Amino acid sequence: MNLTKNLKGNGGSRAGRLSLDPVRDWWATAPGTVRWAVYLALIVGALLLPSEAVGSFMAPSGSDWATMLSDQIGIYVLLALGLNVVVGMAGLLDLGYVAFYAVGGYTIGIFATKYGWNFWETLLLAIGLAALSGVLLGAPTLRLRGDYLAIVTLGFGEIIKKTASNSDYVNGPRGIQGIPHPPSLSEFEILGVQPLKYGLLDSRPYYYLLVFFIVLTIIFVKRMENSRVGRAWSAIREDEDAAELMGVPTFRFKLAAFAIGAAIGGSGGVVFAAKQTSINPENFVFLVSALILAAVVLGGSGNIPGVILGAFMLAWLPERFRELQDYRMLLFGAALVAMMVFRPEGLWPSRRRKAELEEGTGGMGTMGAEVAGPVTAGAGVAGEAAEVKK
Amino acid sequence: MLEDFISQFWPSTIDGLALGAIYALVALGYTMVYGVLRLINFAHAEIFMVGSFAALGTVQVLGVSNVGGLALIGVVALMAVVAGAVASGGAMLLELVAYRPLRKKGASRLAALISAIGASIFLQQLFATIVIPWVFGTSKEGGRLPLDEHFVSRTNVIDVGPVQVSNDKLIIFIGAILMMIALDQFVNRTRLGRGIRSTAQDPETAVLMGVNIDRVVSATFAVGGAMAGVAAALYFLRFEQAWYFMGFLLGIKAFTAAVLGGIGNIRGALVGGFALGLFEMYGSSLFGSQWRDVVAFSVLILVLMFRPTGILGESLQQARA
């Protein structure tokens, strides 16, 4: 189907680059005990991350590293993992992911301040409502492909934001204040931290809460990936028509991806609102969707460690270089372009995704087809044209 | 609610057409790039913003105020030429820096989308932090630059029964129609236009037939940028202000218009632009103006539910251009 391409060698051009294949090979053959040791080391590392020693390098003087971790990095990692289910695994382009984050935030905002529900109750409700809104948006629109889905999700994100800022029930543009912190679970202290006491001053407990959520999400998503559902997603991602012909109920699985991604986004919104104690529509602008999507693609969509790395970099870099003040976002935009130009497959792509990219299907459904060019033109565009004619 | 709609019907129609004309012009840029590269050029909104500042600069250099009559047409024409040229150059540069390297590497369209978002952030911030303070000398209200005095003297030129059209809206409408005719002629009659159409249909065969793809892509961006620049001049004529974030909402609306009409389809962009402008204005007279964006996006979702490739359908092959 795509003979022109590999002759001139996209594959070849990638050979000389930084490759993580040795690590992957080692990992693939590593015995179970080694794997568990690595998992344990990663979790311990994550728990020690907010310490002063790390913070002195990671955070610029004057800003609190633990707050950066909980308010920016942790939330971004969680959201990126959620969006990765939709974009990276099922290959659906969602440009309005912030909508589900907003649903989560507003759920706790409304139910905690107006009805006195506590954090854990609203969390469950928010996850349910976010998943429901994913289904409600997905049911009529998931029959659309690629770019049409992208603009519909973008529109949905704007609808949610505008509706929030036009509704007096949630105080319009001023937003909701006085959202309670989660109830403290225990007062016990370890190494100078009270990890389960959620207060105003210490950000670390929120970070630990996010780590807990992130670990749960990773386990859940990883289990999904290796199940029938995950196989269905990669089939849809690689070739939706073929998947449908092979008897994969594509619509149902796409809807599931949407709902799961939405639920994860919703849980992120709840933690965010409970940490900040106030939310307003400006917290849920398109830029957030764009940055989360950038995190997924930049890290290497579909690969969980890559996505975490991407989200970490994207949340951390602008905060780290606060001393550049106004110019930091300027440089950030330029860096985004540069990273895509030099490493379009992402920092840490999954092996399978890399193969898909090299083969030219790109593994993004219709979004994966490569940009038409003199050498690489062909399969992607022709495939789409065929789709249109149907 | 309904009374408002009925009493406001004609003014809303006129406003909707003027707004729709601007949407349509910007949508053309999205749709042409999409047609040729299958790429959502997210940074196109920022090209529009660049054009607006070029228009603002033109008026400041001319130093005119309260222009009316034929002189206004001259000023607008000059603004359109300057803004069109600047935006066109900007779009070509954008393609060269942010898209061409990706295209050469055969990167996925998703990577190109992220590159576009990066370019978009870069351009906004470039204007917010460097161009506005250094070139325009001020940074009023977060980079919002209104003129000190109105440069247009607005008069109603058509006044028949319920229909009242002011001179600026008339110029917007006629200017946009002229640009669309020019584009249609360019795409259908010229050699380069034929290159664009053939690349849109089948890039591989186009290369075999001797089409220089790089030139075609460059030209597509240039023409799309020029359209956005003219749209920016017309927008400036109506609202008389420019600021660094203005491209965002207009950009997603214009992209919505392109999708509504059927993306990749030039006539679809026109239909989508006018339809969206009208829906928005009717929507805001029905539900209040704060709901107009919600109405616009809801219409989009509804239309796509029933016509999944937009009003006129997607492909460039079918619609000749």
ipTM of the complex: 0.86
The residue assigned the tokens 């202000």 is B241
A173 and B CB contact within 8 Å: no
Q: H or E element: which one contains B163?
A: strand B163-166
Q: Are B171 and B234 in contact (CB under 8 A)?
A: yes
| pLDDT at residue A264 greater than cutoff 70 | yes
Does the beta-carbon distance from B290 to A152 stay under 8 Å?
Answer: no
The mean pLDDT value for B222-241 works out to 92
Does the beta-carbon distance from B110 to A367 stay under 8 Å?
Answer: yes
Higher pLDDT, B159 or B122: B122
CB-nearest to B126 from A5, A330, A340 is A330
Higher pLDDT, B49 or A196: B49
How much is the mean pLDDT over chain B?
A: 86
Does the beta-carbon distance from A368 to B109 stay under 8 Å?
Answer: yes
Specify the number of domains making up chain A: 1
| pLDDT at residue A260 greater than cutoff 80 | yes
Question: What is the CATH number for A210?
Answer: 1.10.3470
Q: How far apart are the first and last CA of chain A?
A: 19
Q: How far apart are the first and last CA of chain B?
A: 41
DSSP-derived secondary structure letter, B129:
I
Q: Tell me: the pLDDT tens digits for A78-98?
A: 999 999 999 989 888 899 999
Q: Do the domain assignments include residue A13?
A: no
DSSP-derived secondary structure letter, A193:
B
Question: Could you please report the per-residue DSSP string of B211-278?
Answer: --HHHHHHHHHHHHHHHHHHHHHHHHHHH-EE-TTHHHHHHHHHHHHHHHH-TT-HHHHHHHHHHHHH
Q: Tell me: the pLDDT tens digits for A4-38?
A: 333 334 444 444 456 667 777 777 787 888 888 88
Contacts of A6 (CB under 8 A, 6+ apart): A358, A359, A360
- Band (A40; pLDDT cuts 50, 70, 90): confident
CB-nearest to B107 from A286, A294, A371 is A371
Does the beta-carbon distance from A163 to B294 stay under 8 Å?
Answer: yes
Best residue in A2, A95, A147, A288 for a mutation probing chain B (most B CBs within 10 Å): A147
CB-nearest to B300 from A151, A162, A381 is A151
Q: Which residues of A touch B298 (CB under 8 A)?
A: 155, 159
A298 and B CB contact within 8 Å: yes
Share above pLDDT 70 across residues of chain B, in percent, rounded to a whole number = 93
**pLDDT-wise least confident of A145-154, A192-201, A204-213:** A192-201
Does the beta-carbon distance from B293 to A329 stay under 8 Å?
Answer: no
Q: Are B59 and B147 in contact (CB under 8 A)?
A: yes
Contacts of A107 (CB under 8 A, 6+ apart): A122, A125, A126, A129, A130, A266, A269, A270
Task: Please tell me which residue of chain B has the smallest CA distance to A300.
Answer: B111
| pLDDT at residue B64 greater than cutoff 90 | no
A360 and B CB contact within 8 Å: yes
Query: Domains in chain B and their CATH numbers?
Result: 2-145+165-306 (1.10.3470)
Does the beta-carbon distance from B105 to A334 stay under 8 Å?
Answer: no
CB-nearest to A381 from B38, B112, B308 is B38
How much is the mean pLDDT over chain A?
A: 80
Does the beta-carbon distance from B263 to A147 stay under 8 Å?
Answer: yes
Q: Which residues of A touch B114 (CB under 8 A)?
A: 293-294, 297-298, 336, 340
Q: What is the pLDDT of residue A368?
A: 43
| pLDDT at residue A193 greater than cutoff 80 | no
Listed residue (A89, A319, A106) closest to A217, CA to CA: A89
**Could you give the CA distance from residue A175 to residue A171 in angstroms, rounded to a whole number?**
5
Q: Do the domain assignments include residue A165?
A: yes
CA distance A170 to chain B (A): 15
CB-nearest to B304 from A141, A335, A388 is A141
Q: Residues 104-163, chain A: which have Cβ within 8 Å of B?
A: 140-141, 143-145, 147-148, 150-152, 154-156, 158-159, 162-163
Q: Do the domain assignments include residue A7?
A: no
Contacts of A47 (CB under 8 A, 6+ apart): A208, A211
- Phi and psi, residue A370, nearest 5°: -75, 160
CA distance B85 to chain A (A): 24
Range of the domain at A198: 62-359
A215 and B CB contact within 8 Å: no
